[in-house]
Amino acid sequence: MPFYGVDLSSRLLLGTARYPSPAVLGQAIKASGAEVVTVSLRRESGPGRAGQAFWSLVQETGLRVLPNTAGCHTVKEAVTTAHMARELFDTKWIKLEVIRDDDTLQPDIFGLVEAARVLSDEGFEVFPYTTEDLAVADRLVEAGCRVLMPWGAPIGSARGLNNVYGLRTLRAHFPDIPMVVDAGLGVPSHAAAAMELGYDAVLLNTAVAEAGDPVGMAKAFALAVDAGRLAHLARPMEPRDMAVPSTPVFGKAALGD
């Protein structure tokens, strides 16, 4: 599963916000088996966050960092934040968010495509947080994105896969583009369902961070991702409208009068 030429063995990407403590975050990362963690530059640098201590914790994990432009509402904000993230984290990777609506945190698809084009032209390797819209995805690929990250549902909503048809269609339309279902997953079965559709990975944060036992939930999601991937590779049977007996009738004993 290469992301911009980087092969990863884990198909679970984990966010680092909203955990009850740095210790719990570290334990959850370990339990998840994740090789990539996302970090929001604006949030971790905000009031009340010990930015340097947090960054030290992330460095200690030895994992690849995917900086995030979370909280940005304009192209200029997102591009400026990406520049800061590249300097701070020494990576070309950027998870690009340009938000339009504060209630749903839905992407501003026009600003997203514009920012993706600017950043791609500047040498960034962009992971765009987008919707399941085919036309938007096509524009993002044209803009230089080699990964797509459609939402399952609004961020932090725990609603799962709101539009299975749309996600399935998107996956089929771009068979050679690595895709990650990002946002809205609430329980491990949501992650398994995304993987069964043929997605390459899932990215989640709140479902683990706000669980009663974040470490246990991280492990549960890791198992679900693996199970979903194995199911996809095993080519599940198609749904049927009628019952089909699992025991054949041929050879069954017949009782006479």
Residue 230 CB coordination number (10 Å): 12
Reduced to 3 states (helix: H, G, I; strand: E, B; else coil), residue 213 is coil
Reduced to 3 states (helix: H, G, I; strand: E, B; else coil), residue 89 is helix
Q: Which of 173, 83, 95 is nearest to 130 (CA)?
A: 95
Q: Which of 132, 126, 129 is nearest to 174 (CA)?
A: 132
Alpha helix positions (H), 62-205: 75-89, 109-121, 134-142, 164-173, 188-196
Cβ 137 vs Cβ 170: under 8 Å: yes
Q: Is 219 a catalytic residue?
A: no
Cα torsion 119, 120, 123, 127: sign: positive
> Which position among 76, 95, 219, 252 bears the catalytic label?
95
Distance CA 205, CA 38 (A): 9
Q: List residues with catalytic annotation.
A: 95
